[in-house]
Amino acid sequence: MSGAAWAVVVGAALLLVLVAVLWASRTAALGRRVGSFGCLVGDRPDGPWARGVAQYGATCLYWWRRASLLPRPAQVWTRAGITVLERHVLEGEGASAGVVVRCRVTPERQGTAREVHLRMSPEAYAGFTSWIEATPSRVGTVI
Protein backbone atom coordinates (compact mmCIF):
# COMPACT_ATOMS: atom_id res chain seq x y z
CA MET A 1 0.00 0.00 0.00
CA SER A 2 1.28 3.44 -0.83
CA GLY A 3 1.75 6.27 1.66
CA ALA A 4 -1.33 8.11 0.36
CA ALA A 5 -3.50 5.02 0.83
CA TRP A 6 -2.24 4.59 4.42
CA ALA A 7 -3.02 8.25 5.11
CA VAL A 8 -6.59 7.78 3.87
CA VAL A 9 -7.09 4.63 5.97
CA VAL A 10 -5.65 6.26 9.11
CA GLY A 11 -7.69 9.43 8.52
CA ALA A 12 -10.90 7.43 8.09
CA ALA A 13 -10.18 5.43 11.25
CA LEU A 14 -9.53 8.61 13.24
CA LEU A 15 -12.74 10.13 11.92
CA LEU A 16 -14.74 7.05 12.99
CA VAL A 17 -13.19 7.16 16.46
CA LEU A 18 -13.98 10.89 16.75
CA VAL A 19 -17.63 10.33 15.75
CA ALA A 20 -17.96 7.45 18.24
CA VAL A 21 -16.49 9.55 21.07
CA LEU A 22 -18.77 12.51 20.25
CA TRP A 23 -21.84 10.25 20.14
CA ALA A 24 -20.97 8.55 23.45
CA SER A 25 -20.30 11.92 25.09
CA ARG A 26 -23.61 13.36 23.81
CA THR A 27 -25.59 10.30 24.92
CA ALA A 28 -24.03 10.35 28.41
CA ALA A 29 -24.60 14.10 28.78
CA LEU A 30 -28.28 13.82 27.79
CA GLY A 31 -28.86 10.95 30.19
CA ARG A 32 -27.35 12.89 33.11
CA ARG A 33 -29.47 16.02 32.68
CA VAL A 34 -31.94 16.86 35.41
CA GLY A 35 -35.45 15.90 34.32
CA SER A 36 -34.34 13.56 31.53
CA PHE A 37 -35.73 10.08 30.85
CA GLY A 38 -35.60 7.47 28.12
CA CYS A 39 -38.48 7.94 25.72
CA LEU A 40 -39.33 6.31 22.41
CA VAL A 41 -41.47 8.24 19.90
CA GLY A 42 -43.70 6.72 17.23
CA ASP A 43 -46.57 7.69 14.97
CA ARG A 44 -48.52 4.52 15.83
CA PRO A 45 -49.02 2.61 19.10
CA ASP A 46 -47.10 -0.39 17.75
CA GLY A 47 -44.18 1.62 16.33
CA PRO A 48 -41.86 1.84 14.56
CA TRP A 49 -40.13 3.53 17.46
CA ALA A 50 -37.39 6.15 17.38
CA ARG A 51 -35.17 5.87 20.46
CA GLY A 52 -34.36 9.02 22.33
CA VAL A 53 -34.11 10.99 25.53
CA ALA A 54 -36.75 13.47 26.66
CA GLN A 55 -36.21 16.28 29.14
CA TYR A 56 -38.66 18.43 31.03
CA GLY A 57 -38.19 22.15 30.65
CA ALA A 58 -40.09 25.00 32.31
CA THR A 59 -42.39 25.48 29.30
CA CYS A 60 -41.50 22.66 26.86
CA LEU A 61 -40.71 18.97 26.59
CA TYR A 62 -37.50 18.47 24.61
CA TRP A 63 -36.79 15.19 22.81
CA TRP A 64 -33.39 14.25 21.38
CA ARG A 65 -32.99 11.40 18.92
CA ARG A 66 -30.50 8.86 20.25
CA ALA A 67 -28.82 8.15 16.92
CA SER A 68 -27.81 11.72 16.15
CA LEU A 69 -24.92 14.09 16.64
CA LEU A 70 -27.02 17.26 16.40
CA PRO A 71 -26.72 19.50 19.48
CA ARG A 72 -30.38 20.60 19.35
CA PRO A 73 -33.46 18.50 20.16
CA ALA A 74 -35.28 16.79 17.29
CA GLN A 75 -38.70 17.69 18.75
CA VAL A 76 -39.85 20.45 21.10
CA TRP A 77 -43.45 20.42 22.36
CA THR A 78 -45.02 23.14 24.49
CA ARG A 79 -46.07 22.08 27.96
CA ALA A 80 -49.50 23.65 27.59
CA GLY A 81 -49.88 21.99 24.18
CA ILE A 82 -49.46 18.39 25.40
CA THR A 83 -52.67 16.50 26.04
CA VAL A 84 -52.64 12.86 27.14
CA LEU A 85 -55.43 11.15 25.19
CA GLU A 86 -54.86 7.55 26.19
CA ARG A 87 -52.35 5.29 27.90
CA HIS A 88 -51.70 1.59 27.60
CA VAL A 89 -49.60 -0.35 30.11
CA LEU A 90 -47.35 -2.98 28.52
CA GLU A 91 -46.95 -6.09 30.65
CA GLY A 92 -43.64 -7.86 30.68
CA GLU A 93 -40.14 -7.93 32.09
CA GLY A 94 -37.29 -5.50 31.46
CA ALA A 95 -37.35 -3.72 28.09
CA SER A 96 -40.77 -5.15 27.14
CA ALA A 97 -42.49 -3.45 30.12
CA GLY A 98 -43.56 0.16 29.96
CA VAL A 99 -46.35 2.56 29.12
CA VAL A 100 -47.43 3.73 25.67
CA VAL A 101 -49.03 7.15 25.83
CA ARG A 102 -51.05 8.62 22.96
CA CYS A 103 -50.71 12.39 23.08
CA ARG A 104 -51.81 15.39 21.10
CA VAL A 105 -48.84 17.72 20.91
CA THR A 106 -48.27 21.24 19.64
CA PRO A 107 -44.78 22.05 18.41
CA GLU A 108 -42.94 24.95 20.03
CA ARG A 109 -43.02 27.00 16.82
CA GLN A 110 -46.85 27.01 16.78
CA GLY A 111 -47.26 24.38 14.10
CA THR A 112 -50.40 22.33 13.78
CA ALA A 113 -51.19 19.89 16.56
CA ARG A 114 -50.62 16.22 15.80
CA GLU A 115 -50.81 12.91 17.60
CA VAL A 116 -47.72 11.03 18.71
CA HIS A 117 -47.15 7.93 20.79
CA LEU A 118 -44.57 8.04 23.55
CA ARG A 119 -43.21 4.86 25.09
CA MET A 120 -41.58 5.17 28.51
CA SER A 121 -41.11 3.38 31.82
CA PRO A 122 -43.91 3.46 34.40
CA GLU A 123 -41.75 5.72 36.60
CA ALA A 124 -41.16 8.12 33.71
CA TYR A 125 -44.91 8.15 33.00
CA ALA A 126 -45.63 9.13 36.62
CA GLY A 127 -43.17 12.01 36.30
CA PHE A 128 -44.56 12.99 32.89
CA THR A 129 -48.15 13.25 34.12
CA SER A 130 -47.04 15.13 37.26
CA TRP A 131 -45.11 17.60 35.11
CA ILE A 132 -48.16 18.18 32.86
CA GLU A 133 -50.54 18.56 35.83
CA ALA A 134 -48.20 21.07 37.47
CA THR A 135 -48.64 23.49 34.57
CA PRO A 136 -49.38 26.95 35.93
CA SER A 137 -53.06 27.64 35.39
CA ARG A 138 -54.79 30.93 34.77
CA VAL A 139 -56.57 32.74 37.55
CA GLY A 140 -60.22 31.82 37.66
CA THR A 141 -60.00 28.40 36.03
CA VAL A 142 -61.47 25.42 37.79
CA ILE A 143 -59.36 22.30 38.10
Look at 127 and 143; give whichever has higher pLDDT.
127
pLDDT of 131 > 80? The answer is yes
The pLDDT, as a whole number, for residue 86 is: 93
pTM strictly above 0.85: no
The pLDDT, as a whole number, for residue 55 is: 92
In Å, how far are 1, 56, 89 from 96, measured between CA atoms? 49, 24, 10
Output the CATH code of domain 35-133: 2.30.29.30
The pLDDT, as a whole number, for residue 49 is: 93
Residue 1's SS3 state is: coil
* Phi/psi at 84 (5° precision): -80, 120
pLDDT in tens, 11-42: 887 887 776 666 566 566 556 666 789 899 99
The pLDDT, as a whole number, for residue 7 is: 83
pLDDT in tens, 47-73: 799 999 999 988 899 998 887 767 789
The pLDDT, as a whole number, for residue 34 is: 63
Q: Are 98 and 90 in contact (CB under 8 A)?
A: yes
Q: Which residue(s) pair with 116 in the sheet? A: 103
Q: Are 132 and 56 in contact (CB under 8 A)?
A: no
> Which segments of 33-118 does DSSP mark as H helices, in order?
none
